Chain A
Amino acid sequence: MIWWVMIFCGVVTFFTRFVMFSDMAPKKLPDWSEDVLSFVPVAVLTAIIVPSVLIGADNAVEITDNAHLPAAILAVLVAWLTRSVLATIGSGLAALWCLNWLIF
Chain B
Amino acid sequence: MSPTPSHPSRQQEFWSGVRQELPLQLGVAPFGLVFGVLGLAAGLTPLQTILMSSIVFGGASQVVLVQLWGSVPGPVVGASVSMINLRHALYSASVAPYLRALPLRWRLPLAYLLTDEAYAVTINRLRNETPGPFQHYHLLGTGTLLWVCWQITTITGVVFGATIPPEWSLEFAIPLTFIAVVVPILKRRADFIACGTAAVISVIGQPLPWNSWIILAGMGGIMAGWLSLRIMAGRGDA
Binding site for B on A (CB under 8 A): 1-10, 12-14, 16-22, 25, 27, 29, 32-33, 35-55, 59, 61, 68, 71-72, 75-76, 79-80, 83-86, 88-90, 92-93, 96-97, 100
Nearest CB in chain B to that of A28: its residue: B97
- Contact, CB under 8 Å: A2 / B90: no
C-alpha gap A61/B203 in the complex (Å): 8
Interface presence of B231 (CB below 8 A): no
Interface presence of B55 (CB below 8 A): yes
User: Which residues of chain B are near A29, meaning CB under 8 Å?
Assistant: 93, 96-97
- How many A-B pairs with Cβ below 8 Å? 252
User: Which residues of chain B are near A53, meaning CB under 8 Å?
Assistant: 175
User: Which residues of chain A are near B52, meaning CB under 8 Å?
Assistant: 6
| Residue from B172, B186, B225 in contact with A96 in the complex, judged by beta carbons closer than 8 Å | B172
Interface presence of B197 (CB below 8 A): yes
- Contact, CB under 8 Å: A20 / B82: no
User: Which residues of chain A are near B81, meaning CB under 8 Å?
Assistant: 9, 12-13
User: Which residues of chain B are near A35, meaning CB under 8 Å?
Assistant: 226, 229
Which candidate, B5-13, B109-117, B144-152, B153-161, is the interface stretch facing chain A? B109-117
C-alpha gap A37/B90 in the complex (Å): 7
B51 nearest CB across to chain A (Å)? 8
| Residue from B97, B173, B207 in contact with A89 in the complex, judged by beta carbons closer than 8 Å | B173
- Contact, CB under 8 Å: B92 / A21: yes
- Contact, CB under 8 Å: B44 / A45: no
User: Which residues of chain A are near B1, meaning CB under 8 Å?
Assistant: none
Total chain B interface residues with beta-carbon distance under 8 A: 89
Q: Is chain B's interface secondary structure helix, strand, loop, or mixed overall?
A: helix
User: Provided the pairs A44-B221, A92-B179 are in contact, do residues A13 and B88 lie with their beta carbons within 8 angstroms?
Assistant: yes
- Contact, CB under 8 Å: B198 / A33: no
What does the 1/0 interface line of B87-101 toward A look like (CB < 8 Å)? 111111111110110
User: Which residues of chain A are near B93, meaning CB under 8 Å?
Assistant: 20, 29, 33, 37, 40
- Contact, CB under 8 Å: B182 / A42: yes
- Contact, CB under 8 Å: B82 / A47: no
User: Which residues of chain B are near A85, meaning CB under 8 Å?
Assistant: 23-24, 26-27, 177, 180-181
- Contact, CB under 8 Å: A43 / B111: no
C-alpha gap A13/B57 in the complex (Å): 8
Interface presence of B15 (CB below 8 A): no
A94 nearest CB across to chain B (Å)? 11
User: Which residues of chain A are near B201, meaning CB under 8 Å?
Assistant: 47
Interface centre among B52, B111, B127, B190 (most CB of A within 10 A): B111
Q: Kindly list 8 other residue pairs between chains A and B, CB separation below 8 angstroms, not including A5-B78, A47-B87, A47-B217.
A: A21-B95, A25-B100, A42-B221, A42-B225, A44-B90, A46-B194, A51-B206, A85-B26
